């Protein structure tokens, strides 16, 4: 092997090392994708939502955040199936788990109402076909769009850090203009 070939191999090795470094250590959004037994899960941790966007609107008037076991709630509003203090030391923030489904291009229930600071845990079941979960304000877009396979449940978890009415939708179905769509409403306590 002559000197020119050695220099080419050294340069290729250096490029491979740089690419590996970029892939492994480049700063990313606070989004982790996990797959366990056919269930997908994304935790967006404490990602922040922007001040304004096409999928964010002000909080509507007279929003009531339901608690676990509430019975007098509209069928279009999800009631948490599990609710507990979000922090071991107590505090006002709650962990709220919701089970919703998507069938015939409709999320049901379509509205999730929580308080600012709550940990939101959505378990979404695709009934009739494959869908996805997209919500750009909380980092669920682009490469972080979550597939929801027919017959499977996808778990989406994030901290509600900004008040507003946030539209989520299926981007592979045509986006928010074609549906299905739903809303996460985050109120001040």
C-alpha–C-alpha distance, residues 185 and 167, integer Å: 9
∠ CA 82-85-86, rounded to 5°: 95
In a domain, 17, yes or no: no
Mean pLDDT value across residues 75-92: 88
pLDDT on residue 52 = 66
In a domain, 11, yes or no: no
In a domain, 2, yes or no: no
Which stretch, 10-14, 82-86, 169-173, has highest mean pLDDT? 169-173
Which pLDDT band holds residue 29 (cuts at 50, 70, 90)?
very low
pLDDT on residue 15 = 77
Which pLDDT band holds residue 4 (cuts at 50, 70, 90)?
confident
Cα distances (Å, whole numbers) of residue 189 to 16, 95, 114, 142, 162: 51, 14, 9, 31, 12
Which pair of tokens denotes residue 32?
A: 């982790």
In a domain, 97, yes or no: yes
In a domain, 94, yes or no: yes
Which pLDDT band holds residue 17 (cuts at 50, 70, 90)?
confident
What percent of the chain has a predicted confidence (pLDDT) above 70?
80
Mean pLDDT value across residues 14-23: 64
Work out the number of other CB atoms within 10 angstroms of the CB of residue 141. 15
In a domain, 44, yes or no: yes
- Of the given ranges (14-23, 70-79, 88-97, 151-160), which has the lowest mean pLDDT? 14-23
Tokens 């999730």 belong to residue: 112
In a domain, 4, yes or no: no
C-alpha–C-alpha distance, residues 25 and 27, integer Å: 6
pLDDT beyond 70 at 184: yes
pLDDT beyond 90 at 6: no
User: Do residues 181 and 146 touch, judged by C-beta distance below 8 A?
Assistant: no
Give me the chain's average pLDDT, please. 83
- Of the given ranges (8-22, 48-62, 81-95, 140-154), which has the lowest mean pLDDT? 8-22
pTM for this model (two decimals): 0.73
In a domain, 6, yes or no: no
- Of the given ranges (7-11, 90-94, 173-177), which has the lowest mean pLDDT? 7-11
C-alpha–C-alpha distance, residues 77 and 57, integer Å: 18
pLDDT beyond 50 at 57: yes
Q: How many domains would you assign to the chain?
A: 1
Question: What CATH number is associated with residue 99?
Answer: 2.60.40.420
By residue range, what is the domain housing residue 171? 29-187
C-alpha–C-alpha distance, residues 90 and 99, integer Å: 24
């Amino acid at each position: 092997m002559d000197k020119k070939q050695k220099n080419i191999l050294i340069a290729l090795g250096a490029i491979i090392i740089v690419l590996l470094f970029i892939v492994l250590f480049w700063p990313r959004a606070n989004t982790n994708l996990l797959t366990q037994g056919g269930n997908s899960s994304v935790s967006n941790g404490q990602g922040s939502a922007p001040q304004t966007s096409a999928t964010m609107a002000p909080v509507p008037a007279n929003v009531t955040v339901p608690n676990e076991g509430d019975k007098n709630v509209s069928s279009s509003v999800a009631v948490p199936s599990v609710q507990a203090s979000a922090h071991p030391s107590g505090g006002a923030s709650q962990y709220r788990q919701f089970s919703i489904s998507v069938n015939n291009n409709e999320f049901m229930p379509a509205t999730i109402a929580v308080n600012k600071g709550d940990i939101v845990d959505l378990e979404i079941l695709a009934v009739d076909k494959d869908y996805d979960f997209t919500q750009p304000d909380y980092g669920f877009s682009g490469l972080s769009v979550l597939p929801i396979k027919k017959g499977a449940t996808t778990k989406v978890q994030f901290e509600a850090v900004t008040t507003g009415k946030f539209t989520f939708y299926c981007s592979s179905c045509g986006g928010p203009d074609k549906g299905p769509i739903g809303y996460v409403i985050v109120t001040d306590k």
